[in-house]
Amino acid sequence: MTELTVVTTCKGRLHHLTESLPTLLGQTFRTDLRYRVVVVDYGCPQGAFDWCVSKFADERLTVVRVRDDVDRFNFSRARNIGAAFGSGLLAFLDADVLLPDGALQRAVSEMERLGLERLNHSRGVDAQGRPHIGGQFLIRSESFHALRGFCEGFREYGGEDIDLYRRSLAAGQSHGLIDLELRRIPHDDEERLRFVSSETKAESILRNREWLGQRGPVVNPDGYGLTEDFETSPNGLQPALVRPAPAACECKEPGWCERHRCAKTPHWHVLCRTRADYFALWEEGRGPGQKRIQQSTEPGLLRKAANFGKAVARHVADGGRKVSHQVLLARLEACKACPSCDTTRMVCRERSCGCFVTTKAAWRSERCPLGKWPKTAHTDES
């Protein structure tokens, strides 16, 4: 069954949400699509959480009230928190967007027809023939998390959506365009800048660009979509995935690192212990010293075929059973943090595996060759 989760955020925009939320809950879909709407109240002074809970008794709606670090509006963090409650396909829509009925079903059908990882709302092109891309789009959840979400270093208004779009293109994710025929609720820049420090839109965008030029090689190296103080609406969803900050370096001295499976020079050892961005690179299997080893250990095509054939046999013997979606996400997160995983292709490089982990991790019969998948008491989805 296809799953779609719409994420929208609110901080001082309740007057927009009162118009847009009914259009989201009023969308009609085919019967085999599971639909959810997640509203993130990011310290909204108008009480968006309370309004949603009092006005809607819809089991498809989850409202999240975030209480920590909400003096300023970090739009990226708010969207990342909402994405933690979603699965399948994620749709990001602003609170001032009004959708016609059937728009999301049309978008889902287009993504499935073309096999896309991301579908962008766009109307026309600019003078250079480039499509107008903004913050309204659909993306597969695994593709979104492979990019480590929206960059939470953007503290001012604007730029986080284009940054994610460019990183998605750079990662080779497949894109498409669609006109959702949406309407915008008119408002001025004063509302856009109410909860940031800049006084003008131009100043806000300039500050974000200056910060972007200083960003390290890893986006959100200390984790993303994290909150320690939140509540959800009654009967609401719980976060499907937790993305903690990287663990501290475990190596006591330079030399061979068993965790990252490479030999670290004294300089690299210092970087691993003191730089979260470099630590994250090693965790993702892209750190200094890892490339040569990883290329040499990935099995060849014949061994891959043999290994996958054995996995298929085990899967069939297990009755074709799959793990729950929550367990699948936890397994994939462990794979993404493993140096043996090619996170671009999502392929395990271990000689006893070599499989596409997005397929193998879904099967109840399978185990990680390194024993890194979380141990769970119940993994069957049925």
Q: Residue 22's pLDDT is what?
A: 97
**Same domain, residue pair 35 and 96:** yes
Please state, in angstroms and rounded to a whole number, the distance separating the CA atoms of residues 189 and 332: 40
Segment (H or E) for 35? strand 33-42
**Same domain, residue pair 59 and 203:** yes
* Domains identified in the chain, total number: 3
**Same domain, residue pair 81 and 184:** yes
Tokens of 161: 């959506």
Beta strands 255-257; 262-264: pairing state? antiparallel
CATH number at residue 10: 3.90.550.10
Spell out the per-residue pLDDT of the chain, length 382, in tens.
789 999 999 999 999 999 999 999 999 998 789 999 999 999 999 999 999 999 998 999 999 999 999 999 999 999 999 999 998 999 999 999 999 999 999 999 999 999 999 999 997 777 777 777 878 999 999 899 888 899 999 989 888 999 999 999 988 899 999 999 999 999 888 888 888 888 898 899 888 888 888 887 778 877 788 887 899 998 777 665 444 444 456 677 888 887 787 888 877 877 777 666 677 777 777 778 876 444 446 787 778 888 988 999 898 899 889 888 888 888 888 888 888 888 777 889 888 898 889 889 999 999 999 888 887 644 455 4
**Same domain, residue pair 286 and 306:** no
Tokens of 48: 């968006």
Q: Residue 240's pLDDT is what?
A: 52
For residue 379, tell me if it sits in a domain: no
Q: Residue 295's pLDDT is what?
A: 45
Please state, in angstroms and rounded to a whole number, the distance separating the CA atoms of residues 86 and 317: 31
Pick from 301, 320, 303, 300: nearest CA to 312: 320
3-state secondary structure of 273: helix
CB-based contacts of 247: which residues, under 8 Å, 6+ apart? none
Residue-wise pLDDT for 329-365, tens only, equals: 888 888 888 888 887 778 898 888 988 898 899 999 9
**Same domain, residue pair 147 and 264:** no
Tokens of 18: 């009162």
**Same domain, residue pair 221 and 158:** yes
Q: Residue 381's pLDDT is what?
A: 53
**Same domain, residue pair 91 and 149:** yes
3-state secondary structure of 49: helix
For residue 142, tell me if it sits in a domain: yes
Q: Which of 276, 295, 314 is where one domain is finished? A: 295
Looking at residue 169, the DSSP 8-state letter turns out to be H
Segment (H or E) for 90? strand 89-92
**Same domain, residue pair 226 and 318:** no
Pick from 4, 152, 13: nearest CA to 94: 13
Domain residues for 289? 255-295
Q: Residue 132's pLDDT is what?
A: 79
Tokens of 16: 């927009």
- Cα–Cα distances in Å, from 124 out to 82, 121, 178, 200, 291? 29, 10, 10, 27, 42
Q: Rg for the chain (alpha carbons), in Å? A: 22
Q: Residue 292's pLDDT is what?
A: 45
For residue 241, tell me if it sits in a domain: no
Sign of the dihedral defined by the CA atoms of residues 123, 129, 133, 137, in that order: positive
Segment (H or E) for 121? strand 118-121
Cβ atoms < 10 Å from Cβ of 300: 10
Spacing of C-alpha 354 from chain mean position:
25
Task: Report the chain's terminal Cα–Cα distance, integer Å.
Answer: 13
3-state secondary structure of 92: strand
Residue-wise pLDDT for 255-288, tens only, equals: 888 778 788 887 787 777 766 667 777 777 777 8
Please state, in angstroms and rounded to a whole number, the distance separating the CA atoms of residues 209 and 181: 30
**Same domain, residue pair 205 and 225:** yes
For residue 8, tell me if it sits in a domain: yes
Q: Residue 26's pLDDT is what?
A: 95
**Same domain, residue pair 191 and 57:** yes
**Same domain, residue pair 104 and 168:** yes
Pick from 183, 175, 101: nearest CA to 137: 175
For residue 372, tell me if it sits in a domain: no
Please state, in angstroms and rounded to a whole number, the distance separating the CA atoms of residues 321 and 3: 19
Q: Residue 34's pLDDT is what?
A: 92
**Same domain, residue pair 147 and 75:** yes
Inter-residue contact 149 to 241 (CB < 8 Å): no
Beta strands 97-98; 61-66: pairing state? unpaired
Q: Residue 293's pLDDT is what?
A: 42
